[in-house]
């Protein structure tokens, strides 16, 4: 547990973010926008808690969680109003890394074993209000969960004597010395609560303060110093930027020493503009940020390769990549399967958000889920029939048709290719 995380918490009540459990003062009308702010400004994870009492409001909160998951680049842990396995499934399918069971409620005690066996212990967290609950239920918690979220600060030394499960502390204290004490506790993996959930929270600045207190915070660490690189006469290092999924080259830019260390510290690509003679964060004005996945130096130590998660497009012209103008060579097939899947998915998603007259995709969305499910079932049957035919071309056609309709279903239910890939990777 050497590295600690800052984990803001969003309490959802009636579709809005409120200040606290017992303070329903509206913190933000835009729950999704608040989550994106946290993600874009250096938060490491996000906790989302549904404070609703009714199934209708719970479903509304689940939909907000889906929308949150689409705009953030950090893991999400979510809970609230979980009374049955179906609620656990809904939260996990909404994109949560873990579903959090409230152990102050009897339903959770009965539910945790079955939920852990169905979805995996690593998908389950528990929230606790007091030390007695931990003491009484330690075996259930130990056997069927992978994270404990304490809803206020406890005697952390006593907690550590009971369990080795990583803990997150949600606290209402705003005093930095107290927050440092919490983070210095060996069993604490992260800090949440009022301080780190401020709507203008500067996560990078607070992490710097934590580092001064000798608290190791989650951030990238470089195995080489900038002084070891071979820069040009202006002290600049060229950076080739590549999409981490598709491997497509997006752009080339330059870093000076300050830009390099800002990139490492914040996790967002920061460059040096030769024309303006100043630093610039990619996406600062457009919102098209580049989030670092890895930085690799070449054999001569004079060029950096950055693999990034690109939000939106990389080029100021509106093109996905700056390299879109051919000048030499002939056409050839460079189809990337992942690019094709994501491109088709994006088109389907765009049709739903911006309907086009005469579009078959919009026809399916207009008819609703029953029609979409019927088509998915029909296309699956067509694959089986085609497989009995020795002509492989028929199978190819039917598989493509099935995948298209499956993607329509994915968009309808708010499931992305990232969700599918993550699920496959976990198996």
- Secondary element (H or E) of residue 379: helix 369-387
Residue with tokens 């606790």: 128
Domains of the chain are: 5-212 (3.20.20.70), 226-310 (3.10.20.810), 337-425 (1.10.287.1080)
Task: Give me the pLDDT at residue 76, please.
Answer: 95
pTM: 0.70
Residue with tokens 């329509």: 408
- Secondary element (H or E) of residue 55: helix 55-71
C-alpha to C-alpha distance for 60 and 57, rounded to whole angstroms: 5
Per-residue pLDDT of the chain (427 residues; tens, 9 = 90+): 468 999 999 999 999 999 998 899 999 999 999 999 999 888 999 999 999 988 889 999 999 999 999 888 889 999 998 999 999 999 998 999 999 999 888 888 889 999 999 999 999 999 988 777 777 888 898 999 999 999 876 666 666 667 789 899 999 999 999 999 999 988 899 999 999 999 999 998 899 899 899 998 877 778 889 999 999 999 999 999 999 878 889 999 999 999 999 998 888 999 999 999 999 999 999 989 999 989 999 999 999 999 998 888 899 998 889 998 888 876 666 666 777 888 899 889 889 988 888 899 999 999 999 999 999 999 999 999 999 887 778 888 899 999 999 999 999 998 888 778 777 766 5
User: What is the token pair recorded at 150?
Assistant: 């304490």
Helices and strands, counts by H and E, the chain: 15, 17
C-alpha to C-alpha distance for 47 and 35, rounded to whole angstroms: 10
Question: Using N-to-C axis directions, what is the helix angle for 203-212 and 176-184, rounded to 10°?
Answer: 70
Task: Give me the pLDDT at residue 1, please.
Answer: 42
Question: Using N-to-C axis directions, what is the helix angle for 392-412 and 337-353, rounded to 10°?
Answer: 50
Residue with tokens 């996945």: 293
Task: Give me the pLDDT at residue 330, please.
Answer: 64
Task: Give me the pLDDT at residue 208, please.
Answer: 86
């Amino acid at each position: 547990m050497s590295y600690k995380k800052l984990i803001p918490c969003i309490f959802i009540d009636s579709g809005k973010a409120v200040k606290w459990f017992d303070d329903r003062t509206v913190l933000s009308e835009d729950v999704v926008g608040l989550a994106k702010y946290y993600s874009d400004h250096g938060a490491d994870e996000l906790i989302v808690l549904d404070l609703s009492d009714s199934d209708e409001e719970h479903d509304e909160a689940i939909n907000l969680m889906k929308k949150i998951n689409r705009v953030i680049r950090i893991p999400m842990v979510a809970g609230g109003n979980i009374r049955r396995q179906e609620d656990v499934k809904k939260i996990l399918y909404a994109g949560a890394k873990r579903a959090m069971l409230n152990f102050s409620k009897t339903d959770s005690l009965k539910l945790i074993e079955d939920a852990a066996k169905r979805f995996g212990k690593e998908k389950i967290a528990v929230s606790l209000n007091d030390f007695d609950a931990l003491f009484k239920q330690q075996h259930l918690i130990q056997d069927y969960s992978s994270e404990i979220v304490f809803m206020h600060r406890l005697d952390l030394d006593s907690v550590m004597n009971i369990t080795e499960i990583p803990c997150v502390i949600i606290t209402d204290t705003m005093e930095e010395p107290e927050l440092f004490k919490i983070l210095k506790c060996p069993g604490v993996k992260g800090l949440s609560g009022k301080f780190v959930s401020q709507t203008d929270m500067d996560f990078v600045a607070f992490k710097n303060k934590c580092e001064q207190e000798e608290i190791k915070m989650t951030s990238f660490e470089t195995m080489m110093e900038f002084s070891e690189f071979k820069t040009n006469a202006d002290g600049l290092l060229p950076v080739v930027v590549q999409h981490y999924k598709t491997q497509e080259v997006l752009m080339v830019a330059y870093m000076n020493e300050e830009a390099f260390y800002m990139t490492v510290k914040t996790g967002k690509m920061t460059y040096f503009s030769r024309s303006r003679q100043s630093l610039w964060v990619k996406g600062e004005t457009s919102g098209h940020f580049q989030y670092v996945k890895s930085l690799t130096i070449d054999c001569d130590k004079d060029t950096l390769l950055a693999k990034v998660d690109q939000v939106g497009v990389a080029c100021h012209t509106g093109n996905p990549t700056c390299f879109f103008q051919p000048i030499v060579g002939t056409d050839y097939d460079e189809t990337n399967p992942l690019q094709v899947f994501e491109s088709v998915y994006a088109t389907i998603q765009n049709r739903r958000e911006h309907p086009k007259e005469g579009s078959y995709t919009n026809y399916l969305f207009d008819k609703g889920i029953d029609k979409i499910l019927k088509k998915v079932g029909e296309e699956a049957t067509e694959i089986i029939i085609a497989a009995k035919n020795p002509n492989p071309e028929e199978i190819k056609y039917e598989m493509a048709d099935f995948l298209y309709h499956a993607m329509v279903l994915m968009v309808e239910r708010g499931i992305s290719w990232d969700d599918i890939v993550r699920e496959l990777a976990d198996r």
